[in-house]
Structure 1
Amino acid sequence: MGVGIEAGRRAAADPGDAFNSDCPGREVFNHVCSRWGMLLLLSLRDRPARFYELRDTIGGISEKMLSQNLRTLTRDGLIHRAVEPATPPKVTYSLTELGQELTTPLQGLLDWVGARTIDVVKAQRRHDRQHKPAS
C-alpha cells in the first residue's frame, strides 16, 4: 500500500478496462453503443451511403443527431467521409477497416435483440405486474 503523495495517485487507466472511470476506451464504448452509433455503423456495413440515405434508413434519427454521430464516429476512425468536389459537394460515408471489423459483433448483438425482444418484453411486463405501486 502506498503512503504520502503516491497514495493519492491512481495508476494510469488501462485503455482496455472499461470498468475504470478513467479508461479512454469508455468513451469509444459510449460512441459505439449509443442508440444511433450502433445503427449507423450497421447501416454502412454492406455499402457506402449518402447523408440522406442514412437519415432515411435509420427511422427516428434527426438530421442534427445524424450529423453529430457521423462526426464522432469519423473522429473515432470508424467511418470515412469522402467529399467529391461538386456544387453542392457530394459527401459519401463508408466504414473504415476498423469500423467494418466492429460490425461483426454489433450485428451479433442486433440479431440477439431481434430474436429475444419478445422474451424481454414478457419479463418487463411480469416485473411491472409484480411491482405495481399500491393505489
Structure 2
Amino acid sequence: MEQSQLCPRFEKALEILSKRWTAKIVYQLQSGPQRFVWIENSLPNLSGKVLSERLKELEAEGIIQRDVYPETPVRIEYKLTDKGKAFAPLFKEISSWAEQWVDFPSAP
C-alpha cells in the first residue's frame, strides 16, 4: 500500500498548532488583544514560562504581534495578526466537528 505524503506547508501548520498550549493561546486571542496575565489566567495549568515561550514562537511565526506601550508601568499586549486571525474558520470547523462527534463526560 502506498503512503501519501503530507504537503510540507500542511505539515508545518500542524507542527505549529499541535505544540502544547499553542492552539489554546491562539483561540484565546481570537477575542482581541490581551495582556500576558489575562492569557495566563484564562488558561489554568499553563505556566508563565511556557506561555512566554509560546508567545515568542507565535510572534516569530508572524501569528501574533506584541505591542509595547510606553506607560508607567509598561503595558504589553498581544494580538493576532491577519495570519493569526485566519485560524478562526479552522477553530469554527473543529468546534462543529467536536459538537457532533466528541462525547463530553457527564458529571457523576
TM-score range, shorter chain: 0.7 to 0.9
Distance change >3 Å, CA 105–CA 89, structure 1 → 2? same
**Counterparts of 1:1-135 in structure 2 under 5 Å?**
19=6, 23=8, 26-113=11-98, 115-118=100-103
Unaligned runs of 5+ in 2: none
Report percent identity of matched pairs.
24
Contact 1:80 1:95 in 2 (8 A): yes
Note the C-alpha offset of 1:88: 3.5
Q: 1:81 to 1:34 in 2, by over 3 A?
A: same
Point out where structure 1 has 5 or more consecutive residues left out of the alignment. Answer: 1-17, 122-135
What RMSD, in angstroms, separates the aligned Cα atoms of the two structures? 2.3
What secondary structure does 1:35 align onto?
coil
Q: 1:61 to 1:25 in 2, by over 3 A?
A: same
Shift of 1:30: 1.3
Provide the rounded CA distance (Å) in 2 between the counterparts of 1:110 and 1:85: 38
Moved more, 55-64 or 85-94: 85-94
The structure that has the greater radius of gyration is: 1
| TM-score, L = length of structure 1 | 0.64
Residue 19 of structure 1 deviates from its aligned partner by 2.3
Higher relative contact order (CA 8 A, sep 6+): 2
Give TM-score scaled by structure 2 length. Answer: 0.78
